């Protein structure tokens, strides 16, 4: 049985820690800082860090990789088309990797960065900064069309899939979702719940694909109320869902 825990890093990052209790081997996803991982290993004698999974090249996701590899000898997996420190295995779309006995499918999800990848194992998605709880990553390198396609691909995964993104952005994302769809009862209820969670210092992740499809405006670009709100703001009719997405992302960037 593999347990998944969050190791907080910086102000709002989560490093995901996968623990195989049968073998006392563990893996981490996007360790931007080595210190929280090393502290966990020190507090859990006998455990070995065997694998490091990277979704994209930004420093808050790769900053701890070299130190962790030097300390543990862990194998480093990352996107083939990006510069990933100490990478052992370069991954591209439709590759698969076996980590702690679990097979992960690799999805290319460009948008936030051009080489961004996600890791999917039945019921679990590690998606870095592509899909957030109630939001999506900024377009630092890719186009709106690329990000729209990437999000559509993730939204097509089974609805019970747990979404492990890497930032605690849920509250601010839901405030934007409420501005886009003020009449969406699912957004209202989730905003209320998440507001309470954050006041109590409780983590809001993981999410699920089902919950995202109900409350994440970036997965709801085909919904009439979303397109109407975008048209109202833009003063034009955005016919294609990717154009609605582009207008939403531009709005969110200034929200």
Mean pLDDT by 10 residues, the chain (255 residues): 96 98 98 98 98 98 98 98 98 98 98 98 97 98 98 98 98 98 97 98 98 98 92 80 94 95
Q: Angle, nearest 10°, between helix axes 241-254 and 170-180? A: 120
- For residue 12 the two structure tokens come to 């709002």
Burial 133-168 (b: 16+ CB within 10 A, else e): bbbbbebebbebebbbbbbbbbbebeeebebbbbbb
- Give the pLDDT of residue 234: 78
- 112 carries an active-site annotation: yes
User: Do residues 48 and 54 touch, judged by C-beta distance below 8 A?
Assistant: no
Task: Given the residues 30, 33, 60, 121, select the one marked as catalytic.
Answer: 60
Task: Given the residues 57, 58, 116, 121, select the one marked as catalytic.
Answer: 58
Phi, psi for residue 35 in degrees, rounded to 5: -55, -50
- 56 carries an active-site annotation: yes
Task: Given the residues 30, 33, 57, 112, select the one marked as catalytic.
Answer: 112
- 44 carries an active-site annotation: no
- Give the pLDDT of residue 238: 66
- 58 carries an active-site annotation: yes
Task: Given the residues 33, 51, 61, 116, select the one marked as catalytic.
Answer: 61
- pTM value is 0.97
User: Do residues 27 and 50 touch, judged by C-beta distance below 8 A?
Assistant: yes
Task: Given the residues 56, 57, 116, 121, select the one marked as catalytic.
Answer: 56
- 121 carries an active-site annotation: no
- 61 carries an active-site annotation: yes
- 167 carries an active-site annotation: yes
207: closest CA among 139, 155, 149? 155
């Amino acid at each position: 049985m593999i347990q998944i825990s969050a190791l907080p890093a910086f102000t709002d990052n989560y490093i995901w820690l996968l623990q195989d209790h049968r073998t006392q081997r563990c893996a981490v996803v996007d360790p931007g800082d080595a210190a929280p991982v090393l502290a966990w290993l020190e507090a859990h004698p006998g455990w070995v860090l065997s694998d490091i999974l990277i979704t994209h090249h930004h420093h808050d996701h790769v900053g701890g990789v070299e130190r962790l590899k030097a300390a543990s000898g862990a194998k480093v997996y990352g996107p083939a088309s990006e510069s990933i420190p100490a990478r052992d295995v370069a991954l591209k779309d439709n590759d698969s990797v076996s980590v702690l006995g679990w097979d992960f499918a690799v999805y290319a999800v460009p948008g936030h960065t051009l080489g961004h990848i996600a890791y999917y194992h039945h019921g679990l998605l590690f998606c870095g900064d592509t899909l957030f709880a109630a939001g999506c990553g900024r377009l630092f390198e890719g186009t709106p069309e690329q990000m729209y396609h990437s999000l559509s691909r993730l939204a097509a995964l089974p609805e019970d899939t747990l979404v492990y993104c890497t930032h605690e952005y849920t509250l601010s994302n839901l405030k934007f979702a409420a501005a886009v769809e003020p009449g969406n009862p699912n957004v209202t209820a989730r905003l209320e719940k998440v507001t309470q969670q954050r006041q109590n210092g409780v983590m809001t992740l993981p999410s699920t694909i089902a919950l995202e499809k109900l409350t994440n405006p970036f997965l709801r670009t085909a919904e009439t109320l979303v397109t109407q709100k975008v048209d109202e703001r833009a003063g034009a009719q955005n016919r294609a869902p990717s154009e609605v997405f582009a207008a939403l992302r531009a709005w969110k960037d200034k929200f």
